[in-house]
Amino acid sequence: MTGQSVLIVDDEPAIRRLLRTSLGAQGYRTLEAATAAEALARIAADRPDVVILDLGLPDRDGLEVIRAVRTGNAVPIVVLTSRESAACGAPGATCSNCGCMCRRSARRSGRPGTAAPYPHRNRGRLPPRRAGDAAMTLAAMALDALIPPGHVLDRLRAPDKTALLNALARAAGESLGLPPAGIAAALAAREALGSTGIGGGIAVPHARIAALSAPAGFLARLDRPVAFDAVDGRPVDLVFLLLSPATDADHLRALAAVSRRLRRPEVAEAMRTAPPAALRAALLGA
């Protein structure tokens, strides 16, 4: 897969930056577009191998972009969205909205025909990718399963960025039964590629860990802000640590979903003012 081109279509610079850095670290060549018009122009001119598309674009609905692309191009499209209605039928069904091979969002309902949620342990494997689209939605992604109550750290103290990453690695290692040193090294290697501080006092450090069998998230509210080399220069006080298996296909989807959730001003404010017992609920909107 190394050397293939990926077009990232998203109007949020912080999301594009996170995806660009993560994909670049895996050997992909990235292209970017912030609007539907830019996306269609780049698809026609650059012929990317894959398109990662946010449906909530400022100038045109993402589903319209997919329809426009499908008039003469079979490039695989991965949809990143928080729009619950974007999901279509059962896994592998043809979406009547966009003509793509889509898969319903992860849910906790357990209804027949729906995908399994994001259980922290013993997570089922996704259906194999098909030729054509791999368009998927994060509308109802089970963040409550990705980050169980025991993965919340309130008033975490750290004097600097390195100490913060080490503290997160220790907490994750203890919870997951993994060596903290390995997690800390993976996080440091990712930060060396570019800060995961996405602005607004928020950071989303992340790494792939070979020993993991399922994604795991950890939420931390700091005792005091820490300089993190964030994109806007603001110290961070809210941190979401995301650890994924080395070959997990949902890593970028989870990363984008978490980042979007945290960057909502009302969510960040609720998390900063919530009492300790309500911190997790503030993130989930429960």
**Average pLDDT value for residue range 215-235:** 96
Give the C-alpha separation, 81 to 268, whole Å.
19
The percentage of the chain sitting over the pLDDT mark of 90, rounded to a whole number, equals 58
What's the pLDDT at 95? 54
- Alpha helices for the chain (secondary structure H): 13-25, 36-46, 62-70, 143-146, 161-176, 180-193, 251-263, 265-273, 279-284
For residue range 145-185, what is the model confidence (pLDDT) as tens digits? 889 999 999 999 999 999 999 999 999 999 999 999 999 99
Mean residue pLDDT of the chain comes to 81
Q: Which candidate in 120, 151, 206, 251 is catalytic?
A: 206
- Per-residue pLDDT, averaged over 223-228, amounts to 98
pLDDT for 260: 85
Which of 103-107, 180-184, 218-222 is predicted least confidently?
103-107
Q: What is the pLDDT of residues 263-286, one digit of tens each?
A: 899 999 999 999 999 999 999 986
Domain 5-141 has CATH 3.40.50.2300: yes
Contacts of 252 (CB under 8 A, 6+ apart): 19, 22, 23, 52, 78, 80
For domain 144-284, the CATH class is alpha beta
120 included as an active-site residue:
no
Coil vs helix vs strand at 50:
strand
Q: What is the pTM of this model?
A: 0.70
* Domains of the chain, residue spans: 5-141, 144-284
> Looking at beta carbons, which pairs linking 279-286 to residues 24 or more positions away fall under 8 Å?
279/152, 279/154, 279/219, 279/221, 280/147, 280/149, 280/152, 280/219, 283/143, 283/147, 283/219, 283/240, 284/143, 284/144, 286/144
Residue percentage of the chain with pLDDT more than 70: 77
